[in-house]
Structure 1
Amino acid sequence: MTTPIPQEAVNLVPAYAEIALLIGASAILLIDMFLSKAQRSFTYVLSLLMLVVLAGISCADFHTGATSYTFHGMFVSDPMANLLKLFTYLTVGMTLVYSRQYAADREMLSGNLGGEFYVLALFAMLGQMVMISGSNLLSIYLGVELMSLSLYALVAIRRDNVRATEAAMKYFILGALASGFLLYGMSMLYGATGTLDIRGISTAVASGTIKPTILVFGLVFLVAGLAFKLGAVPFHMWVPDVYEGSPTAVTLLLGGAPKIATFAICIRLLVEGLMPMAFDWQQMLMVLAVLSLAIGNLTAIAQTNLKRMLAYSTIAQIGFVLLGLLAGVAGTTDVTGRDAAYSSAMYYVITYVLTTVGTFGTLMLLSRAGFDADNLADFKGLSKRNGWFALVMTILLFSLAGVPPMMGFAAKFAVLNSVLATGQLWLTIFAVMFSLIGAFYYLRVIKTMWFDEPVDTAPIAAPLDMKLVLSINGLAVVLLGVMPEALLSACLAAIKATLAT
């Protein structure tokens, strides 16, 4: 007599978005094989429609507020996962809009499989969605590798470009090393606890029967792997080189949605799975945060290449995300303010990604065939060439610097408030000081745009959809800064519901 399959194993409803994306991306790849170069815009439209369908599914799941598991508990659909997925779709959609003309000008969309840029972006996003919903070490690692392999291919998509090939080799080698760290840490946790399930790991660690030495070693490798994916110091070596060497469209795919997915697995692994070891990983995150804030901001000052400057800016911004994560526990058993701290980190990741997508979008707006606008000098006199987009870029840079009333200020204030609530005054002052230092290199770009004479007087030509989305991007940064309550409340509700289960 056969044993009936548990209902949970065949309940595919929580994974409808991932299943739809897998089928849709595969269909788009097949359709693209029969399209000519002139018809490539059809692949672009199909990719955006795919994102709209996914947004509808995840939005419906988010409004139910339910938490459900499938695949024997390896995959979870909860409010945090659905909210982060919605912003992942938004980020990838904006990236595709900003990148279309840039990719076409550089022959990235030519050949029989020119649509591979869009398809690889969708498969990378599928990996990110699996990372966000993974509730098992195996499913999380599967998502990490699916995302990473797609991004490796995207970095090297311009096979005849020496800088892109070099960046791809660096990213692949260091990415493989980081994946090894992550996998080794997971294997040690499995060896110590006897389970791959995150809830099971939490129960086993809380029992106090496992030798702490094994757990700490596993934790060290785990945090090292996560720090690499986030680009935190001292695991940041790949970030400036890969950002600079990659085509700007791919740099945007690297610096946007993957940060959202990595934040999700930090919550899954550290908060949900290893909360009994919070004192240990909080100390590690503190070191990473302090180093990232210091080195990221100081090194960015010396950069004249804007892609390298934004890379070091990313490192510094990740320092704030880590501050929010470590403030949730602050080395004590008192979890008062825990939800507020983790939701502030989540809010910070979302605001950072939305802002940085716009800054790279502006770089691509100023680029054209045979020319990449990635140096500080390329922004000279932008206000005289196009005052509106100079204003949009100014808004985005003010947000990254944390100037009120931009969205970035609300995010920084929320994180610093959480850190201060834990009594760590020195850490709050340290973060504020380096934020002030970091404001210099953002203001330098603004000064160049508004007060320097333009070197290039060529008209700024870009598709209407790109100009429209970039304008909305800039206005949203102001709107969400003036009225941050809705997004902050959504993040807080999502974190509360997720951690309650």
Structure 2
Amino acid sequence: MSFVTPEIAWAPLAPIIVVLGAAAIGILVESFVRTPATRRAAQLGLSLVALIGAAGVAVVQWAGLEGAGTEVLAGMLTVDRQALAWQIVILVFGALGALLFAARTRAGEEAFTSLGSVAPGSTEETLARRKGMQVTEVFPLALFAVGGMMLFTSVTDLVFLFVALELFSLPLYILVALARRRRMLSHEGALKYFLLGAFSSALFLFGAALLYGATGSASLTGIADGIATVSGLDPLILGGAVLVVVGLLFKLGAVPFHSWTPDAYQGAPTPVTAFMGAATKAAATAALIRVSYEAFYGLTWELSWLFWAVAIASMLLGTVVALVQTDLKRMLAYSSVAHAGFILVAFAGFPEATLAALPFYLLAYGLATLGAFAVITQVRERSDDGTVLGEATRLGQWAGLGKRSPLLAGAMALFLLSFAGIPLTAGFVGKFVAFAAAISEGAWPLVLVAVIASAAAAFFYVRLIVLMFFTDVPDGQEEAIEVDYSPLARVVVVITAAAVVLLGVVPGPVLSAFENAAVLLIGSAG
């Protein structure tokens, strides 16, 4: 008996290898570099070089890609322009997220606890804070999450898809629990995220098992062939497809699989909330597109009720509950639930235009999300003795911010208007192309609901703008809030604000690029 060495085409996987390799090196840096300041600088530099370098490699691959794409690992993973487009988007979010991870206040305080392995408020944590300890392992954790998301966008086998899902989920569970302040709230959010994530993973695996039993294959093309040819097993196939889609909808944060979102968004360190809100949604959408269009394209009619029902429920619940929130991070969490519904609108009827529309939508949404949370990190509470405390997340605390810091408040207003889909912002173009894709398949009633929900959602965005620019600071509260200058956070605000305006005014080149990427290597829709 002879063993045949498998041949693996490593070159198409170069962007993923760069990111995961840098994550492994980051662990070594964490182990061997003793000085906290040097270790932090090394981790940030390594992360940015890896993420920007991987994005450059992905762009080069895109330019040199021959035909539709390349199959890797015996067809379990594909590298086509659709996958590369999503990978570039996720890498952009990762690089901006790394800058936020490294941001500090004037007093040198970072967003993460000094020692994440001990109980909140313990003596060990207090001593670690006094000694100036830093958890710079957040950088390799973020790199592992980014690498897993990049895999998630291009996997064409359900078993491998589960591995990629866990690869990027496990680091996020840890990152959510590492907030410096409100530690119990951080732990609560992480625990809910972990438990509900485990539950959704079980549903995904159960669905994959049903599909394998019905079609005899775990690959997306094998499942598509089985759906087209197998007879007498329709309930098994449909049940498996629904469970797999439900597992992916959890990561998207759609109703009724959204219950982790508010607590995780509120409890996590704000840089983690920003990164998670932007990148996780993009990865989940990319995987949902590939699974739906390559494996379940023959079930378009059968799955339409699921996409319609979840989209409508997400838009209505996200909008209505966001209207009554008084905490800014929870308001943006429920806003993300509504945006999950807007994303699902584009899946109605599985139109081909969705392959180009959703990458643009997620790019616009992710940039505004990163920018908004970067602003939040700089608006902080101040004690009576002048000590700068944690972020001011109660809506009333933002009154008069336009007078304190006009540029920062203006940037926040821009991001909110983009969320609302106001013209001349990236959010407007994103919603327009997503809704146009649904209308092309005759789903105008669903688009009508989406437009009404968007109009209603504009209220809670405009409410914050009115607070910032047209509401005076309450008497005696002038010194209770301080705008803290953080150079790295300001860099993120400037980059995202410029991108939101540029994509809103001149969206043509990026839309054209995504239209060029709107080709799946395999599948009925390709």
Q: For the superposition of Structure 1 and Structure 2, which TM-score range results when normalised by the shorter chain?
A: over 0.9
Answer yes or no: is the 8 Å Cα contact 1:29–1:115 preserved in 2.
no
The corresponding residue for 1:24 is 22
Note the C-alpha offset of 1:464: 2.5
The correspondence of residues 417-496 of structure 1 with structure 2, limited to 5 A, is 417-454=436-473, 455-457=477-479, 460-496=483-519
Question: 2:135 and 2:438 mapped to 1: Cα distance?
Answer: 47
Q: Does 1:256 find its partner at 2:278? A: yes
Question: 1:109 and 1:119 mapped to 2: Cα distance?
Answer: 16
Answer yes or no: is the 8 Å Cα contact 1:106–1:370 preserved in 2.
no
Aligned partner (choices 406, 411, 423) of residue 425 of structure 2: 406
1:59-110 Cα offsets, whole Å, 9 max, x none, are: 1111123411111111111101111111111111111212322594345366
The corresponding residue for 2:73 is 71
The corresponding residue for 1:239 is 261
The corresponding residue for 1:105 is 110
Q: Does 1:311 find its partner at 2:333? A: yes
Answer yes or no: is the 8 Å Cα contact 1:32–1:113 preserved in 2.
no
Question: 2:446 and 2:21 mapped to 1: Cα distance?
Answer: 47
State TM-score, norm by structure 1: 0.93
Aligned partner (choices 197, 202, 209) of residue 224 of structure 2: 202
Question: 1:420 and 1:107 mapped to 2: Cα distance?
Answer: 45
Note the C-alpha offset of 1:469: 2.8
Answer yes or no: is the 8 Å Cα contact 2:349–2:441 preserved in 1.
yes
In the alignment, residue 417 of structure 1 is paired with which amino acid?
Answer: A
1:154-213 Cα offsets, whole Å, 9 max, x none, are: 111248811111111111111110110111111111111111111111112112436111
The correspondence of residues 114-263 of structure 1 with structure 2, limited to 5 A, is 114-158=135-179, 161-209=183-231, 211-263=233-285
Question: 1:423 and 1:79 mapped to 2: Cα distance?
Answer: 27
The corresponding residue for 1:88 is 90
Answer yes or no: is the 8 Å Cα contact 2:112–2:178 preserved in 1.
no
The corresponding residue for 2:307 is 285
Distance 1:490 1:497, change over 3 A: farther
The corresponding residue for 2:34 is 35
Q: Does 1:365 find its partner at 2:378? A: yes
Distance 1:495 1:251, change over 3 A: same
Distance 1:470 1:287, change over 3 A: same
Answer yes or no: is the 8 Å Cα contact 1:32–1:115 preserved in 2.
yes
Note the C-alpha offset of 1:149: 0.8
Answer yes or no: is the 8 Å Cα contact 1:325–1:345 preserved in 2.
no
1:378-424 Cα offsets, whole Å, 9 max, x none, are: 32111111111111111110000011111111111112222222223
The corresponding residue for 1:332 is none
Answer yes or no: is the 8 Å Cα contact 2:104–2:110 preserved in 1.
yes
Structure 2 unaligned runs (5+)? 116-127, 382-387
Q: Does 1:390 find its partner at 2:409? A: yes
Identity of aligned residues (%): 32
1:98-139 Cα offsets, whole Å, 9 max, x none, are: 232259434536667721111111111111111111111121
Distance 1:107 1:357, change over 3 A: closer
Helix, strand or coil for the counterpart of 1:370? strand
Moved more, 226-235 or 485-494: 485-494
Helix, strand or coil for the counterpart of 1:355? helix
Structure 1 unaligned runs (5+)? 329-337
Question: 2:112 and 2:292 mapped to 1: Cα distance?
Answer: 43
Question: 1:209 and 1:5 mapped to 2: Cα distance?
Answer: 38
Question: 2:240 and 2:520 mapped to 1: Cα distance?
Answer: 28
The corresponding residue for 1:300 is 322
In the alignment, residue 36 of structure 2 is paired with which amino acid?
Answer: K
Question: 1:3 and 1:426 mapped to 2: Cα distance?
Answer: 58
The corresponding residue for 1:379 is 398
Question: 1:2 and 1:173 mapped to 2: Cα distance?
Answer: 45
Question: 2:367 and 2:93 mapped to 1: Cα distance?
Answer: 7
Question: 2:371 and 2:302 mapped to 1: Cα distance?
Answer: 37
The corresponding residue for 1:15 is 13
Distance 1:190 1:206, change over 3 A: same
Answer yes or no: is the 8 Å Cα contact 2:36–2:134 preserved in 1.
no
Answer yes or no: is the 8 Å Cα contact 1:296–1:312 preserved in 2.
yes
In the alignment, residue 45 of structure 2 is paired with which amino acid?
Answer: V
Moved more, 161-170 or 16-25: 16-25
In the alignment, residue 147 of structure 1 is paired with which amino acid?
Answer: F
Helix, strand or coil for the counterpart of 1:359? helix
The corresponding residue for 1:341 is 354
Answer yes or no: is the 8 Å Cα contact 1:79–1:494 preserved in 2.
yes
Note the C-alpha offset of 1:308: 0.5
| Structure 1 vs Structure 2 CA RMSD | 2.0
Which is richer in helix?
Answer: 1
Question: 1:383 and 1:200 mapped to 2: Cα distance?
Answer: 57
Note the C-alpha offset of 1:269: 1.2
1:320-361 Cα offsets, whole Å, 9 max, x none, are: 110101242xxxxxxxxx321332223212211111111111
Answer yes or no: is the 8 Å Cα contact 1:398–1:406 preserved in 2.
yes
Helix, strand or coil for the counterpart of 1:308? helix
Distance 1:370 1:425, change over 3 A: same
Answer yes or no: is the 8 Å Cα contact 1:402–1:412 preserved in 2.
yes
In the alignment, residue 31 of structure 1 is paired with which amino acid?
Answer: V
Question: 2:287 and 2:241 mapped to 1: Cα distance?
Answer: 14
The corresponding residue for 1:333 is none
The corresponding residue for 1:58 is 58
Note the C-alpha offset of 1:254: 2.0
Question: 1:421 and 1:132 mapped to 2: Cα distance?
Answer: 25
Distance 1:233 1:122, change over 3 A: same
Aligned length: 490
Distance 1:13 1:456, change over 3 A: farther
